[in-house]
Structure 1
């Protein structure tokens, strides 16, 4: 069994950034920045991507847990970096 060879056969991600909501395959247009203050440094930001339909749901989920920090548009240059 070739474990190292099998690592290279992973499937590539989607061509366009997709919404982070479970089972959603819509194009992402928002980046929702958050962190968990119990385990992350105050400056650290994790990012979920969101489509227009799921933006409020994802923000609400994070706000209830006091994790939400900001929501910003997903810019064209950030979309190209997300594909890499």
Structure 2
């Protein structure tokens, strides 16, 4: 399910991120997003310098 607040759509994307003030460089956190919220969530993370990569859910961890 999409990580955007209030969204109940199925996740299609994985946004892989890291907050360097809190996490070691190799630690990765994830948010998942539907197609509609991918850009919004990605921009939120990018502006803060947290976003590492965005991959299709079907390919994540494959």
Normalised to the residue count of structure 2, the TM-score between the two structures is 0.92
| Pairs within 5 Å for 1:43-62 | 43-62=26-45
- In structure 2, the CA distance between the partners of 1:38 and 1:26, relative to structure 1 (3 Å rule), is same
Q: Which runs of 5+ in 1 are unaligned?
A: 1-17, 79-84
1:51-73 alpha-carbon deviations (Å, 9 max, x no partner): 00000000000011100000001
Matched residue count:
61
Runs of 4 or more above 2 Å deviation: none
CA deviation after TM superposition for structure 1 residue 75, in Å: 1.3
| Pairs within 5 Å for 1:1-84 | 18-75=1-58
* Whole-Å separation in 1 of the counterparts to 2:59 and 2:18: 24
CA deviation after TM superposition for structure 1 residue 46, in Å: 0.3
Relative to total residues, which structure has the larger helix share, 1 or 2? Answer: 1
Relative to total residues, which structure has the larger strand share, 1 or 2? Answer: 2
